Structure 1
Amino acid sequence: MRIPTTGLTIVTSHQVVHASAVILTMRTDIDRVTVADFVSGQATSVGITLVLAFAVALVILRIGLRPLGRMADTADAVASGARGQRLPVHGEHTEADRLAVAVNNAFDAQARAENQIRDFAADASHELRTPLATISGWLDLYNQGGLTGPEDLGRALERVDGEVGRMRLLVEELSLLARLDAGRPLDSQRVDLQRLATAVVQDAQVVAPERVIDLDAPHPAYVSGDQPRLQQVLNNLVGNAIQHTPPGTAIDVTVQAAASTVRIQVADHGPGIPAEDLSRVFDRFWRADASRSRAHGGSGLGLAIVQAIVHAHHGTVRVASTPGSGTTVTVVLPCYDRTVTPARPDGS
């Protein structure tokens, strides 16, 4: 940079200089070294910071993923057969705890399903074993020459035919439950539950003429559904009330239509069901009184079939009971909707 300096005199030990201007200069090599040192320092600092951050992140990840590792080990143990083990939950309300609770719930649901399948298989085999044992016993008696007279042979054939009928009914009921569980479509048409209940009550009075069965169905009550299956619901409910109450116990059947639903109630005035048993009344093969049910030919599937059919018709069913005062089963079904096109049995 040149700066004019008129009249400037510079005196040295050797001479006197009259300067007309001053020129300022700067060493750029010093700046380059400074910048290079600065960049190098910053790069070193950034590198060290990244290394430390990576190390800290790795430690945090290892600590944070440690619960997931324990979960994986527990899941492997469960898959290997240790069905009783569950993922650890520390109660800290973290995402890992939420995941552990969800997986534990899934394991519990799987265990319940497996137990139900085992119980179902055991109960079904038990129900089939009883009539098979009876049939086998009569056949062995015949083969050993124990049935010589026509009366003995006729009695044996009557017993065998009865046990075959029990097995046929059980197989049909199991087949129906399997179809309903699979969600196969039912027939859908307009059904008058008033007429259906009237026919069921009339049939029940013929089968059990000593019973007083009152029907309260003053008006038509239309629903959309499968008429044979809905009739089976009413047959099972009235049949259960007859089978599981002492002779002479009155039974009340009510059919009431509301704005959007139809309610069916079957109430008896029998001994009722203990409170601890109410949660099991829809379980398959469960009986409050096994010996009495078998004496009347019951399989323990009546209410399970009722529940499955009602759910297939988008309805609800519940049981209320007071020991000593009787039991009431209430079924609620949607009313017939004229805007819905009835479905055919093939689902089309």
Structure 2
Amino acid sequence: MKLQVKLSVLIGIVFTSGSLIINGSNSIISKREAIRTQDKILNDALDFVRESPTNDVSEVLVFSETSPAPISATLYFDDSQPVVLIEGIDGSRVLKIPNLEVSEVASATKTPLNLNDENSMRISSYSIGNGEWLIVGLSVATVNQEFSNAIGRSFLLTVIIALLMTLLVRFLISRALRPIDLIIEDAKKIATGSTEIKLRTAGGNDEISRLTHTLDEMLGRIQKAVKSAKDSETLMKEFMGDASHELRSPLTVIRGYVDILAGQQTLSDEQRERAIYRLKSESFRMSKTIDDLLILAEIGEVEIRKSDEVDLTDLVTEFVEDFKVRNPGRSVHQNIDSKVTVPGNSEQLSRMIANLLSNIERHTPELAAVEILLIKGQTEANLYFDDAGAGLTPDTYSRLNTGFERFDKNRSKSGGGFGLGLSIMSAIVKNHGGTVQLSPSHLGGLRTQISLPTSTSKN
């Protein structure tokens, strides 16, 4: 059973029960008021006799002439037959007081007594003395009938209103729960694999609307995470394919020269020296690739303790001076703030800077200008490396900051090395809680911006 049906039925039951209780209580109260009115008539009739000087029972006849309701009166004797004084007429019925036991008559002197006879009589009595009682009575059949009719009408009216109200409530609940139905429909689509959808939301600020917006935000994060996972998987496959290719290439060369050296043909000294040289260079290239892969795998395993501070000013200055010595023909501009420290691992940060400068050396012309800046912010240190090289292709910039992407596939191969430099650099920066941003440089080439949290922001 749907929730809206359950709520509608529950509300209908509660309304019906409450209405029946209220209407039933009102009917009971009305009946009691009518009975009290009848009792007052009986008491007034007896008072006519009580207040007469001689307890003249004939006074009840006088009262019957002006009584609001038809009454009957009987003079009862404990040792002889009763004498009927008057018999009232209620419509077509003659109100006869039946024969009673003495105990019943005596009891009626204290409180009016209901008789289970055909006329539904209610009597009250007054003891005259000497074993004589005056009994007066009237019919409460009309009162009982009105009570039954009122109960029946109330029940029928309540049921009709309850049905109408249940239908109205179901309609209103159906409209109120419509956003949940939309969520269910969208969730079924998601369950079948359709993740590229947006939850349909209804306007408003009620709980259901807020729930829908919250779920939509959560779905957005899930979709973003799924896309990120797919992108990472694609990049990882590309990365592993490149790694396999770079390892396979030197192995192919090595195998070829080993076959030549192991062959039966006679080689000249020059050919033999070249073969040995190529074996050494390709084995070194393969060893360097393997070392870079191991470094990349080990970076995340090194815990960066916030208590270990690295003087980034001294570290950058040292590498820049070495870079100038190796590149005397370059125009190198530097602007390095003093006393810049960051919590981190000195060995990893040194490798990061070395990789950046090495990439500039390998992928830019020998005379291309270089600019290196270290600027201390309130909560982070910003390191900028700008070069006047060829830069990257426009589509490459859209795939930056991924950790498995080369600077540029063509650029990396033309430089004679495998493009693990950016991967290693990105992993080191991430391990230190920082960020990497690659963008076109004002010098015409590539700008690499690295932001690292400083010691002042560790708390």
TM-score (norm 2): 0.57
The answer (yes or no) to whether the contact 1:273–1:322 under 8 Å persists in 2 is no
**Whole-Å separation in 2 of the counterparts to 1:116 and 1:43:** 66
Q: What residue is the counterpart of 2:280 in the other structure? A: 158
Worse-matched range after superposition: 56-65 or 296-305: 56-65
Q: What residue is the counterpart of 1:21 in the other structure? A: 63
**Whole-Å separation in 2 of the counterparts to 1:223 and 1:55:** 64
TM-score (norm 1): 0.73
**Whole-Å separation in 2 of the counterparts to 1:327 and 1:88:** 38
Distance 1:167 1:55, change over 3 A: same
**Whole-Å separation in 2 of the counterparts to 1:64 and 1:258:** 48
Residue 204 of structure 1 aligns to a residue whose secondary structure is helix
Residue 381 of structure 2 aligns to a residue whose secondary structure is strand
What are the residue-to-residue correspondences of 1:1-348 with 2, within 5 Å? Answer: 1=41, 2=44, 19-22=61-64, 23-25=67-69, 27=140, 28-49=143-164, 52=167, 56=171, 66-78=181-193, 86-87=196-197, 95=209, 98=213, 99=215, 102-103=218-219, 106-143=222-259, 145-146=262-263, 150-176=272-298, 179=300, 185-188=303-306, 189-217=308-336, 219-257=338-376, 261-273=380-392, 276-287=395-406, 289-322=408-441, 325-337=444-456
Q: What residue is the counterpart of 2:102 in the other structure? A: none
Q: Could you tell me which runs of 5 or more consecutive residues in structure 2 were left unpaired when the two chains were aligned.
A: 1-40, 50-58, 70-138
Distance 1:97 1:301, change over 3 A: farther
Residue 419 of structure 2 aligns to a residue whose secondary structure is coil
Q: Which amino acid aligns with 2:249?
A: A
Residue 318 of structure 1 aligns to a residue whose secondary structure is strand
**Whole-Å separation in 2 of the counterparts to 1:278 and 1:205:** 28
Alpha-carbon offset, residue 312 of structure 1: 3.5
Residue 270 of structure 1 aligns to a residue whose secondary structure is coil
Query: Could you report, residue by residue, the CA deviation over 1:234-255 in whole angstroms, capped at 9, with x for unpaired residues?
Result: 2222222222221111222233
Q: Which amino acid aligns with 2:252?
A: S
The answer (yes or no) to whether the contact 2:406–2:420 under 8 Å persists in 1 is no
Query: Superposition RMSD on alpha carbons, in Å?
Result: 4.0
Same amino acid, percent of matched pairs? 17
Worse-matched range after superposition: 61-70 or 278-287: 61-70
Distance 1:91 1:221, change over 3 A: closer
Residue 328 of structure 1 aligns to a residue whose secondary structure is strand
Residue 449 of structure 2 aligns to a residue whose secondary structure is strand
Distance 1:38 1:220, change over 3 A: same
Alpha-carbon offset, residue 132 of structure 1: 1.8
Q: Which amino acid aligns with 1:229?
A: Q
Distance 1:243 1:62, change over 3 A: same
Query: Could you report, residue by residue, the CA deviation over 1:269-295 in whole angstroms, capped at 9, with x for unpaired residues?
Result: 334445554333333453454233223
Q: Which amino acid aligns with 1:48?
A: L
Q: Which amino acid aligns with 2:245?
A: R
Query: Could you report, residue by residue, the CA deviation over 1:108-154 in whole angstroms, capped at 9, with x for unpaired residues?
Result: 53134123213312322222223323313422442363596652552
**Whole-Å separation in 1 of the counterparts to 2:397 and 2:362:** 17
Q: Which amino acid aligns with 1:255?
A: L
Q: Could you tell me which runs of 5 or more consecutive residues in structure 1 were left unpaired when the two chains were aligned.
A: 7-16, 341-348
Residue 263 of structure 1 aligns to a residue whose secondary structure is strand
In the alignment of these two chains, the number of paired residues is 322
Distance 1:77 1:215, change over 3 A: same
Residue 223 of structure 1 aligns to a residue whose secondary structure is strand
Worse-matched range after superposition: 139-148 or 165-174: 139-148
Worse-matched range after superposition: 274-283 or 26-35: 274-283
**Bigger Rg, which one:** 2
Distance 1:93 1:155, change over 3 A: farther
Distance 1:244 1:61, change over 3 A: same
